[in-house]
Structure 1
Amino acid sequence: MNLVQHTIMMVAIARRERLILSILFVLAATVLHAQTVVTGTIIDKETKDPLPFVNVIFAGTATGSVSDTEGKYRIHSTEAYTQVQFSFIGYKTITRNIKPGETNEINIRLEPEATVLNEVEVTVDNRKEKYRNKNNPAVDLVREMIDRKKQNRMENYQFVEYEEYEKLQMSLSNVSDKFKERKLFRKYKWLFDNVDTTSIEGKALLPIYLQETINDQYYRKSPEKKRTIKKAHQKVSFDDYVDNQGLSTYLNYLYNDIDIYDNNITILTNQFLSPIADAAPTFYKFYITDTLKDVTPKLAELVFVPRNAGDFLFQGKLYVTLDSNYAVQKVDMTVNKNINLNWVRELYIQQDFEKGEDNRYHVSRSKMRADFGLSKDRGGIYGERLVSYKNFTTNHERQDSFYEAEEGAATSILDPQNSEEYWLAHRHDSLSHAESKVYQNIDSLQKMPSFRRTMDIATLLLAGYKSFGWWELGPVNTFYSFNPVEGFRLRVGGRTTTRFSERLYLETYGAYGFKDEKWKYYLGATYSFTGKSIWQFPVKSLRVSFQRDTKIPGQELQFVQEDNFLLSFKRGVNDKWLYNDIWTIDYLNEFDNHFSYRLGFKNWKQTPAGGLYYQVRDGETTRDIQQLTTTEVSLELRWAPGEQFYQGKSYRIPIPNRYPIFTLRGIGGVKGLFNSQYNYQNVALNIYKRVYLSQFGYTDIVAEGGYIFGKVPFPLLGIHRANQTYSYQLQSYNLMNFLEFVSDKYVSVNFDHYFNGFIFNKIPLLKKLKWREVATFKVLYGSIRNENNPQYNTSQFLFPVNDEGVATTYSLRREPYMEASVGIANIFKLLRFDLVKRLSYYDHPEVAKWGIRGRFKFDF
């Protein structure tokens, strides 16, 4: 296994194992096609100022775009169009000839029109004057909308009910004939018969994923409560290769619900400032470009553009009712192409609102379209989420018991997933011809041996496992590694799949070190009490295992196997290891409200290895302790309100939201039980919270505190998480040495801030590179009571020393341990590098004051 393959696997493990999306990007990147492309700049003929929001289309079609705030535009199509048209309210329309199948550059000077239609009032700003908010009727209109946001929101009703239909589809876009003829796809030519060239002008779409849901939604304002009754659901399934439910959850997370009345709107994992946010007049420019008098109530067409084209802002049009509501009647918006959205080439949002019985407006239809790709001109992935609302009812009071019932507790229809008649009768929006065939086509595709072989290879490379039906071999990135104690280490292992049993899951591996000449192994069995897979939420399972293996004290990794090949490379001295024999029994019970508890039993025999020794003072000399045995019982309580996650092959990867996650853990050591040598209690609380800061990005905050009761040697104290690898670990101290600090009471806070290009987007060169800034700060306070400190209690194990007899393990003094970093993320759209600086405890031996660390990070 070469380094490149291991690197690919690290990408998948480190960033949420998005197997299907990764495969599709690889496929889409190879799509080549001849396109008609038109680019250029549009200015006012008289003032020479750039004109934003000019409509640019291929003549006679609806295919096109609009110019950005700098007057620049770009449109493309696979069709052989010969003319392009430019139009803008208050200006004469211009048509130009173009060469089909080529790239055309056409710069346009639009001439103001002398007259306008009688039924339209145009108030386009005079571009000879500087834009101002003061005395600007467009800004005054926006302020009226802001003042009435509360009354126009759904949450203003005490009770709301409606039927919701959701359709989410993904397609390969711009599938060319050359792509279809590639050797890899010759066996799947029948699949390309389903290419759709009619739904989106200028795009050839091959649907590959579709899911539909019909729900009844119920909302109560006070006390706030929501209930969802799922009436029907169907989707394309990739269960043999990915967590199908997790994939669905993740796609819905990317295509989040949009509320124009929110100050910040989360889309594609990023936050955008709404054009009617409280602070919108500070970040947007507004223009009233049309007044529609032939509708009731009259509507104002309000165009908005960012003041800074690089900020995470929208641009587009709002249609606003000119009555006492000042409500949004329609939204049509996109994002500026200068925004650092990484893989996203195009993003469009459309929303329609309808008037209710109380003359207020609510959303009736919301549609979001996004086109993803590795480059501007090649094929990619097109995604579309449509949400439609019917039977909108307000102020229908229901009993409290109704809202307390479990979600999806209704059985008003019989097996709708197998009833096409049901979907034809209840679907809010009809499927295109290509969409209607995607369920059958993908099902047929997965039955083909050649496709299954291709997916098996992709799964091996990206997730690290090779499936043999009821058994999986892996993870392959642990097959070979090395360390100072074991030397060259070989490992092979595997586990059962759901084809073996839905309830019972078995896992094992064996490893051998050629330097210490010792065998290591693991045996584990997990039983699910829900009758479903042990990975399927909510989990209720019992796990029993035994492990004989090595470990570095204080190394705790996230989403990475400890004997991953790339982690074999470490800085500094790394010779203090343990041989462990560990018996565990673990019972996990999760609830639908995302509260869970875990009961555990652990018998742990640890033997020092390498340069680590367990020693106590014996008069003027020291005496070696060969091993340390403990038996623990534990209880862990976890609450993660609103949590969503993607279940990978080895880890459950959480999808962050605005809610905190609380984890409280209590451990009790029982002396005398199975040769346990100590009584002690360990209590720890961990709180995680993502804080969104709108245009300034977001911050991940982790606060943790712990206290250990009882007299224990240093191996049983809190060994603070250190990292001597060259991979940046978010929850570890990246310039702390292994086993450098131990405590019996401590508190720590970590800040990890992502600016999302807020600074770099304003610097021309960096803006083009689409790099993003990151910064972190970590602080740790802790101490050891005298009874646990070998300097004051001679019965305790001595702290480890190096070859020169200098201590390498310490208690924290009054001064905290601190480190900070600044970094650049999104390098080549995948890499993050941090320059890390250690800010305290320079007097310790063999420490690094600064270093460069990297990690893979996949973001939109």
Structure 2
Amino acid sequence: MKPIYSFFLLVVLSFILQVKAFGQRTVVSGIVRDAVTKETLPNVSVFFKDTKIGIQTDVNGKYTLVSPDPQNEISFNYVGYRAVFKNIMPSATQELDIALVPDSRALDEVIIVGGKKVKYRNKDNPAVELIRQVIAHKDENRIKSYNTVSFRQYEKMLFSLSNVSDKFKSKRMFRNYQFLFQEQDSTLIGGKNLLPVYIQEQLSNHYLSKDPEKNKTVVIAEKQVNFDSRYIDNKGMKTYFDRMYQDIDIYKNNISVISNEFLSPISDGAPAFYKFFITDTLKNQKPQVIELSFTPRNTNDMLFEGKIYVTNDSHYAVTGASFGVNKNINLNFVRALKIDLDFEANNKGKYSLSKSNLLADFGIGKTKGIGFTGERTVTYKNYQFDTVLPDTIFQGKSTVVLGDAAKKDDKFWEQNRLDTISKNQLKIYGNIDTLQNLPSFKRTMKIVTLLFAGYQNLGPYEIGPVNTFYSFNNVEGLRLRVGGRTTPELSKRYYFENYLAYGIKDEKWKFFLSGTYSLNNKSIYEFPQNYIRASFQRDTKIPGQELQFVQEDNFLLSFKRGVNDMLLYNDFYRLDYVKEFENHFSYNLGFKKWSQTPAGGLNYLNGANQSVNRLSTSEISLQLRYAPNEKFYQGKIYRVPIADRYPVFNLRYTAGLKGVFGGEYNYHNLMGSIDKRFYLSQLGYSDVTFEGGYIAGKVPFPLLAIHRANQTYAYQLNSYNLMNFLEFVSDHYVSINIDHNFNGFFFNKVPLIKRLKLREVVSFKALYGGLRNENNPNLQSGLYRFPVYENGAQRTYALGNEPYMEGSVGVGNIFKLLRVDLVRRFNYLNNPEVSEWGIRARVKFDF
């Protein structure tokens, strides 16, 4: 899931910033058509005369142009048509439809074809033949075609408030924020005024080598708006924005934009998904450049539409591109998207990317209401090709940030920026600092943090998470809990966390205490972590339930299906040392003393049918984790990964120590897993997990691998959603979990259905395992017996010769937030209290 927390914080910030009075605005809207064919014209450039305020018409030829100041004249320009200039009424809102006349001087000939509309075909289509030539010459035109490359790069990320309503200008709640709105940025998209609220900049040197393949990035300078770290993870927010706004390489088969994979118009399979048209030839350039327009065959698919410019010679190189997305695309919250790429001829006679601009406008509604506009502009200079690069350049990490990169002064930035920056944009740095010192803004952020992160900040201590304050289950009945943790305001070295809970039905107190010491003088929630933690916990737990990004006593998980009366009372004594490295390798060395007491419908009976009140173990463990190129957002409770194509490896070894602090068993437990996302272009993506485990030693069933079951009504990605708690245990197993999202590939092609922007999901999970004879209580009298129901029916089993399997088909993106799955369990249906079918739901925020 994306970092929803930061998104909503920015939304709240947007409402605080909606107070700008527009003054005497000039607003012009209308439709641009071809004067001959009467067809609407997309991508027509519309500008107020002698200003930089301009837009392009959309796919239906519509435009809305807004200026905060009076304007007298407007211009319309389109390749192959005569330019039009019209006088307008200043300081007024008006409609102006335009008919552009083809310019015969720019065309070799005009062919008018009567009769029925000709069906589009790839065969004998000169535009398709041209794009196939471009595809065939991709390798020679890519930057990777050179032996070595070096260049300097400047990037600017700007987030602005869009579509600000003047209704807010007189609201009392905004009277303290007028200093933010003395001037408004003149940048526009779709006629919407933009008010900058966030900015980040970076200046870096890049080095690439073809053979051997190496790359190195040296960040010389960087700066960004920094929000209060108590409320927003600034590094995580920057990482999230960088993931959404990645570098645009049109020569790649797939282009990642807004966390989605779009098929490039010059990908190997582009002719099967796009329609291409030759729309102009620019003969005043050498070599001549052909304008090639393209549009999706299916406007709902993850595809672009726009124009690319290609040299009319033997190289078929791209010299420029301007494209966006169709209004019908199955993309959430994106009102508009525009990408511009500029290429320049280099000293090798080829073309290199000189500037890229990605601009996206986000909002809940299609056109109305407040929104956000994000813009990333990247400028490339000082290209050097096929020069000798010393091996020392590539030593160490692939990305290096110089120690003083964040300390560069304004004079340095003025001298070294490779692109212009407006005064209004520069004001953002100081304005946000001033904003965060206002008491009213601090109060607002505290409320938002409580609502979306679950913690109420009280300075050195914060209370939460609030969604655990009330829950219930069959054993404890109504469960009340209160707790919290210290913050860096108390200490950057020492951290303490605690809670106290009470069950009304079982009349038992539960509590947790922990103390953590940071060894690198950083917050223990900041990457890279390096700390020692000691903790004690006395609380309940459902055997085999392992949850991600949520706590077991979350109120919403109190609602469960079937018989749910097995619980453990646990005493945990833990000592952990955690060490992370910059390359995202980490290890956790720990010691745990665990005493567990069965409760509710769970009983521990030995071979003599005698009840065992307590099972005690002592363990040492080592967990290794490697997540190359991992990116994440650090929330208040969990570190939320930002999904990407890179794998994550986990390996954990645990040894039971008999006779140490009361430990009753010797055993060895080894578990490993690999998680990876596979992008399949237009067919969406698959999240795949392989896992395996082996336990050596003779142990009772509570110490075996209790497979992750789910008896809630929420769809859990990493659990078996139709398996009952403690239904299966193993001492050796392997499993595979596949969850595939088609991104609407099929629904997009069904009339009427496609208008709902639904997305198809399928999943399959298989678990193969078993018990050796030494750990099977049906064969060994000295082991704990498997649990049974009140009627004597067995509750816990070992897997047989066939794997446990379940699958699901689902519909995602319902109301842009909900996923609902129909889940089927394929086997082991004769076990008591199981269901063959089930419906599960999951909230999933996605673009």
Q: TM-score, normalised by structure 1?
A: 0.91
Matches within 5 A, 1:821-836: 821-836=808-823
Q: 2:631 matched to which residue of 1?
A: 644
User: For the residues of structure 2 that align with 1:742 and 1:26, how far apart are their CA atoms?
Assistant: 52
1:89: how far off?
5.2
Taking the aligned partners of 1:389 and 1:86, their CA distance within structure 2 comes to 30
State how far apart, in whole Å, the 2-side matches of 1:424 and 1:83 are.
34
SS of residue paired to 1:530:
coil
Q: 1:123 touches 1:288 (CA, 8 Å); kept in 2? A: no
Cα drift, residue 567 of structure 1 = 0.8
- Structure 1 distance, partners of 2:311, 2:760, is 41
Whole-angstrom CA distance in 1 between matches of 2:705 and 2:111: 66
Q: Which string of whole-angstrom CA distances, capped at 9 and with x for unpartnered residues, describes residues 530-565 of structure 1?
A: 221212222222222111110000111110011111
**Structure 1 partner of 2:148:** 159
Residue 317 (structure 1) aligns with: 307
CA distance in 2, matches of 1:841, 1:44: 70
Shift of 1:828: 2.0
Offset, 1:849: 2.1
Judged with a 3 Å threshold, the aligned counterparts in structure 2 of structure 1 residues 409 and 105 are, in CA distance, closer, same or farther, namely closer
- Using the TM superposition, give the Cα deviation of residue 308 of structure 1 relative to its aligned residue in structure 2, in angstroms: 1.5
Counterparts in 2 of 1:712 and 1:26: CA distance versus 1, 3 Å: farther
Query: In the alignment, is residue 858 of structure 1 matched against residue 811 of structure 2?
Result: no
Bigger CA drift: 466-475 or 836-845? 836-845
Equivalences for 1:385-400 in 2 at 5 Å?
385-400=376-391
Post-superposition offset of 1:42: 5.7
Deviation sequence 1:291-327 (CA, Å, 0-9, x none): 2222222211111111211111111111112233221
Q: Does 1:432 align with 2:422?
A: yes
Matched, 1:750 2:737: yes
Measured in 1, the distance between the counterparts of 2:425 and 2:215 equals: 31
1:177 aligns with 2:170: no
Hey, what does 2:57 align to over in structure 1? 66
The 1:95/1:418 distance shift into structure 2, 3 A limit, reads closer
Query: What is the aligned partner in structure 1 of residue 642 from structure 2?
Result: 655
Name which of 718, 729, 733 aligns with 2:716: 729
Q: Secondary structure at the match of 1:311?
A: coil
2:198 equivalent in structure 1: 209
Moved more, 59-68 or 624-633: 59-68
Distance 1:122 1:279 in 2: 32
Letter in 2 for 1:481: S
Change (3 A) 1:439 1:410: closer
Q: CA offset at residue 392 of structure 1?
A: 1.4
2:657 aligns to what? 670
Closer/same/farther in 2, CA of residues 407 and 732 from structure 1, 3 Å limit: same
Shift of 1:56: 7.0
Name the CA distance, whole Å, in 1 between partners of 2:837 and 2:26: 49
User: Does residue 632 of structure 1 match 2:622?
Assistant: no
What CA distance in whole angstroms lies between the structure 2 residues aligned with 1:29 and 1:555?
Answer: 45
Structure 2: distance between partners of 1:432 and 1:77: 19
Q: Measure how far apart 1:646 and its partner are.
A: 0.7
Farther-moved stretch of structure 1 (796-805 vs 519-528) = 519-528
In the TM superposition, what is the alpha-carbon distance from 1:191 to its structure 2 partner?
Answer: 1.5
Structure 2 CA distance for aligned equivalents of residues 29 and 745 of structure 1: 59
- CA-to-partner distance for each residue in 1:335-380, whole Å, 9 max, x for gaps? 1111011100000111111222212222111110010011112221
Instruction: Return the offset for 1:714.
Output: 0.7
Alignment of 1:513-592 (within 5 A): 513-592=503-582
* SS across alignment from 1:675: coil
Deviation at 1:39, TM superposition (A): 6.7
- Superposed displacement of residue 495, structure 1: 0.9
Counterpart residue type for residue 379 of structure 1? I
Q: Identify the residue that residue 510 of structure 1 maps to in structure 2.
A: 500
Answer yes or no: is the 8 Å Cα contact 2:19–2:166 preserved in 1: no
- Kept in 2, the 8 Å contact 1:159–1:394? The answer is yes
- Whether the 8 Å contact between 1:579 and 1:607 is mirrored in structure 2 is yes
2:221, 2:408 within 8 Å by CA — same for their partners in 1?
A: no
1:792 corresponds to 2:782 = no
Query: Any residues of structure 2 matched to 1:492-503 within 5 Å, and which?
Result: 492-503=482-493
Which SS does the other structure have where 2:568 is aligned? strand
Cα deviation per residue 1:737-783 (whole Å; 9 max; x = unaligned)? 11111111111111111111212222343332222221211111111
Q: State the match for 1:218 in structure 2.
A: 207
CA contact 1:123–1:290 (8 Å) conserved in 2 = no
Q: Aligned partners of 1:749 and 1:227: how far apart in 2?
A: 36
Q: Which residue of 2 aligns with 1:192?
A: 181
What residue number does 1:845 align with?
832
Change (3 A) 1:798 1:37: farther
Structure 1 position 174, deviation (Å): 2.2
How many angstroms apart in 2 are the aligned matches of 1:415 and 1:29?
34
| CA distances 1:659-714 after superposition (whole Å, capped 9, x unpaired) | 21111111111111111111111111111111111111111111111111111111
Is residue 200–residue 223 contact of structure 2 (8 Å, CA) maintained in 1?
yes
From 347, 357, 367, the counterpart of 2:347: 357
CA distance in 2, matches of 1:694, 1:122: 39
When residues 410 and 539 of structure 1 are mapped into structure 2, their CA distance, relative to the original with a 3 A threshold, is closer
Deviation at 1:210, TM superposition (A): 0.7
Q: How has the CA–CA distance of structure 1 residues 128 and 83 changed in structure 2, closer, same or farther, with 3 Å as cutoff? A: farther
In structure 2, the CA distance between the partners of 1:510 and 1:222, relative to structure 1 (3 Å rule), is farther
Q: Give the letter aligned to residue 162 of structure 2.
A: S
CA–CA separation in structure 1 for the residues paired with 2:664 and 2:111? 82
| 2:129 maps to 1:140 | yes
User: Post-superposition shift, 1:104?
Assistant: 6.7
Q: Tell me the distance in 2 between the aligned counterparts of 1:818 and 1:105.
A: 63
Distance 1:564 1:32, change over 3 A: farther
Q: Is the 8 A contact 1:78 1:101 kept in 2?
A: no
What is the Cα-based RMSD across aligned positions, in Å? Answer: 2.9
The answer for the alignment partner of 2:246 in structure 1 is 256
Task: Label 1:104 to 1:778 Cα distance change in 2 as closer, same or farther (>3 A).
Answer: farther
- Secondary structure at 2:389's aligned position in 1? coil
2:153 paired with 1:130:
no
Once residues 374 and 227 of structure 1 are traced to their aligned partners in structure 2, the CA distance between those partners, rounded to angstroms, is 39
The DSSP-based 3-state class of the residue aligned with 1:823 is strand
User: For residue 271 of structure 2, what is the aligned residue in structure 1?
Assistant: 281
Verify: 1:606 aligned to 2:593, yes or no. Answer: no
Letter in 2 for 1:392: Y
Report if aligned partners of 1:78, 1:203 keep a CA contact under 8 Å in 2: no
Unaligned runs of 5+ in 2: none
Distance in 2 of aligned mates of 1:683 and 1:608? 25
SS in 1 for 2:798: coil
Letter in 2 for 1:770: K
1:819-848 alpha-carbon deviations (Å, 9 max, x no partner): 222222222222222222222222111112
Aligned mates of 2:839, 2:504 — CA distance in 1: 32
> Equivalents in 2 of 1:31, 1:742: separation in Å?
63
Tell me if structure 1 keeps the 8 A contact 2:222–2:405: no
Q: Which residue in 1 is equivalent to 2:479?
A: 489
Match of 1:116 among 77, 82, 104: 104
Q: Which amino acid aligns with 1:404?
A: Q
CA gap of 1:526–1:790, structure 2 versus 1, over 3 A, is: same
- Counterpart secondary structure, 1:289: strand
Read off the aligned partner of 1:140 and give its amino acid letter.
E
Q: Which amino acid aligns with 1:582?
A: F
The answer as to whether partners of 2:464 and 2:484 remain within 8 angstroms in 1 is yes
Q: Choose from 305, 326, 344 the match for 2:334.
A: 344
> Is the contact between residue 499 and residue 511 of structure 2 (CA under 8 Å) also seen in structure 1?
yes
Distance of 2:597 and 2:565 partners within structure 1 = 14
State the Cα deviation string for residues 198-229 of structure 1 (Å, max 9, x = none): 56583322211111111122222333222222
Q: 1:804 aligns with which of 774, 777, 791?
A: 791
Q: Could you say what secondary structure the match of 1:453 adopts?
A: helix
TM-score w.r.t. the length of structure 2 is 0.93
Give the secondary structure class of the aligned counterpart of 2:104. coil
The percentage of aligned residue pairs carrying the same residue is 52
- Structure 1 counterpart of 2:725, from 738, 752, 764: 738
* Bigger mean CA offset, 482-491 vs 245-254: 482-491
